């Protein structure tokens, strides 16, 4: 009984001690809208893009400055079924990518936690539907995104967040696909 009582007291003491990082691991899901995008390549010149997107993120986190600044590195998956407009006609475009994601977050003592996030796609596939048929472009380590956001703690270990991301992709024949997106999501911090 004494051993159980001692173990129970030690467990409570460990839980009550402040930790160096709020979460060791986090997992999140998000969705949003991509706007003000452009495609510029020989087949499609200066086409505007917009549409929905969704994705998943996960990080292994650590403190840079305990209880103030944390940093995490992990992975992401993102899919963007969008449309692009050429000469007033809409066509479908689907961008799917996965890769490495990094986040730097201010762990403020209030419920709002601003952060910066960026990632590099290990693999990206862009599929275009045109009047002449469908063609796709698949590249490795050829696109990136950067952004700013804020997370709000709603329950212990649960945050909702909103963010802005700028996406850039290199395509074949010196082409490029650029877009801006606004996302909202939820993250579980363990």
Is 5 contained in some domain? no
Q: Can you give the CATH number for the domain in which 50 is found? A: 2.40.160.20
Above 80 in pLDDT, residue 7? no
Is 102 contained in some domain? yes
Residues 85-104 have a mean pLDDT of 91
User: Residues with Cβ < 8 Å from 170, sequence gap 6 or more?
Assistant: 139, 142, 143, 176
Assign 135 a pLDDT band (cuts: 50, 70, 90).
Answer: confident
In terms of Cβ atoms closer than 10 Å to its own Cβ (0-12, 13-18, 19+), residue 178 is middle
Residue 40 is predicted with a pLDDT of: 83
Is 33 contained in some domain? yes
Above 50 in pLDDT, residue 138? yes
Is 157 contained in some domain? yes
Residues 90-117 have a mean pLDDT of 93
Is 17 contained in some domain? no
Above 60 in pLDDT, residue 8? no
Above 50 in pLDDT, residue 189? yes
Can you give the residue range of the structural domain that contains 84? 22-189
Above 50 in pLDDT, residue 122? yes
Is 153 contained in some domain? yes
pLDDT in tens, 37-69: 888 877 777 788 999 999 999 999 998 888 889
Maximum distance among all alpha carbons in the chain?
80
Q: Mean pLDDT over all residues of the chain?
A: 87
Neighbours of 83 (CB within 10 A): 17
Q: Please tell me the total count of domains within the chain.
A: 1
Is 107 contained in some domain? yes
Contact 144, 120 (CB under 8 A): yes
Residue with more model confidence, 80 or 17: 80
Is 97 contained in some domain? yes
Residue 1 is predicted with a pLDDT of: 56
């Amino acid at each position: 009984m004494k051993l159980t009582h001692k173990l129970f007291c030690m467990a409570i003491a460990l839980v009550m001690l402040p930790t160096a990082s709020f979460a060791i691991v986090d997992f999140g899901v998000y969705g949003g809208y991509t706007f003000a995008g452009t495609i510029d390549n020989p087949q499609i010149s200066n086409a505007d893009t917009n549409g929905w997107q969704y994705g998943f993120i996960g990080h292994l986190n650590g403190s840079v400055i305990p209880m103030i600044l944390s940093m995490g590195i992990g992975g992401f998956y993102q899919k963007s079924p969008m449309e692009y407009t050429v000469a007033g006609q809409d066509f479908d475009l689907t961008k799917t990518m996965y890769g490495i994601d990094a986040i730097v977050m201010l762990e403020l003592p209030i419920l709002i936690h601003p952060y910066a996030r960026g990632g590099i796609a290990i693999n990206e596939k862009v599929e275009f539907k045109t009047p002449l048929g469908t063609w796709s472009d698949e590249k490795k380590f050829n696109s990136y995104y950067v952004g700013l956001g804020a997370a709000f703690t709603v329950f212990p270990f649960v945050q909702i967040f909103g963010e802005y991301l700028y996406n850039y992709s290199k395509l074949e024949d010196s082409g490029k696909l650029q877009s801006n997106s606004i996302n909202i999501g939820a993250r579980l911090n363990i």
